Structure 1
């Protein structure tokens, strides 16, 4: 019983990390698109 619970929590943890990394990569892509669109030196970085 304990093994099943630990496996389930581990899978949830991994899925959380993957979704977080995916969200970060999407934000980076949007940031790169904003950089390409704006010719000005004004850059706003959200961390």
Structure 2
């Protein structure tokens, strides 16, 4: 299972993906449209 942390801002979202151990494996800066696509493309359920 991976976790997705999101830092919200006006026009850019910063996303960090981490594995169960808490280690961050990927970071991204996405605009609103790219963030929407990113969330829709996640294969596993997103834990909020």
- Give TM-score scaled by structure 1 length: 0.29
- Bigger proportion of residues as strand: 2
Structure with higher helix content: 1
TM (norm. structure 2) is 0.28
